[in-house]
Amino acid sequence: MNLQQSGCGNDLPQDLVNLFSANKPVKICAPMVRYSKLAFRTLVRKYGCDLCYTPMIVAADFVKSAKARDSEFTTNKGDQPLVVQFAAKEAKVLADAALLVCPFAGGIDLNCGCPQRWAMSEGYGACLINKPELVSDMVRQVRNRVENPRFSVSIKIRIHADITKTVDLCQKAEAAGVSWIAVHGRLSEERHHPVHYDAVKVIKDSLSIPVVVNGDIKSLKEAKNIHQITGADGVMAARGLLANPAMFAGFEETPLACIHDWVDIALEHGTPFTCFHHHLIYMMERITSKQEKRVFNILSSTSAVLDYLNDAYRI
């Protein structure tokens, strides 16, 4: 595992569940394939993000391969509080993966919401919402094998068309010892449909553990409104943060200072050009004209991007 500063596991935060005890929603950066890596987590933490997830990591590969561990999980001392999200379908494998990361993170999350075909065909992601006994067993085994009682074990789910099935899944996971549940308020087959916030409220009202709401949160004002509608203890954003990493600090669009911070952080972390550039494309979507986008989006080197930002924005 690539730990960018020595000793990052020596001073982990208090029980992550304590984050949810304040009378305001916890602001969370969602797990995003390719995007919610260390450099981006470092950026959003500067702008009001309370908790970050890693991208989804396939637990079986992570356990078997040192190469996978080095490439998939990078952290440092400032990267806290942190949840490592795993795709898994076997309790022992998930617990093995949790043991590997527990010195360096505050908790792990089991992905029960990814709707991509490859994940579901492999038995990962959203297909797990139809296997409540397996999900409960995975939670229970992690709980039994990780000795640190402050280590969190959460799940991130999508909902069923019959919400009673989702409530049953969540209540069984709660009985197994899950710390909190993040709910993307869409069915597995829904992509850009409206989010079913009413379903999230039903789930929240059925549990005694914290519930996090996810789906279409694109501004701090929306986050507060959705918190009020659902009663959720946390608000989780993905695309909203990609477009505006300063969203949780109350900015309506990405401020130039945030773009400047991204350049500094990305260069410091050695972020590959494609990732560095893609993040900037997302961040600048609302503040650039069509003509500017055409020019910026085809830039092909870090130096070209830096020259453009300097010429256009004095960054």
**Residue 197's CB: how many other CB atoms inside 10 A?**
18
Contact yes or no for 41/5 (Cβ under 8 A): no
**Rounded to the nearest 10 degrees, what angle do helices 132-145 and 163-176 cross at?**
20
Q: What Å distances lie between residue 157 and 134, 160, 244, CA to CA? A: 14, 10, 24
Report the first-to-last Cα separation within the chain, whole angstroms.
Answer: 33
Query: Given the structure tokens 């549940």, which residue do they identify?
Result: 181
Amino acid identity, residue 1? M
Compute the distance between CA of residue 74 and CA of residue 90 in angstroms, rounded to an integer: 24
Q: What are phi and psi of 160, to 5 degrees?
A: -90, 160
Active site residue 114: yes
Rounded distance between C-alpha atoms, residue 35 and residue 311, angstroms: 27
Distance of CA 127 to the CA centre of its chain: 19
| Structural tokens at position 177 | 């010892």
3-state secondary structure of 57: strand
With both helix axes pointing from N to C terminus, report the angle between 302-313 and 273-283 in degrees, rounded to the nearest 10: 30
Catalytic residue among 8, 114, 170, 258: 114
Q: Rounded to whole angstroms, how far apart are CA atoms 280 and 74? A: 21
The two structure tokens encoding residue 140: 């229970």
Active-site annotation, residues? 114
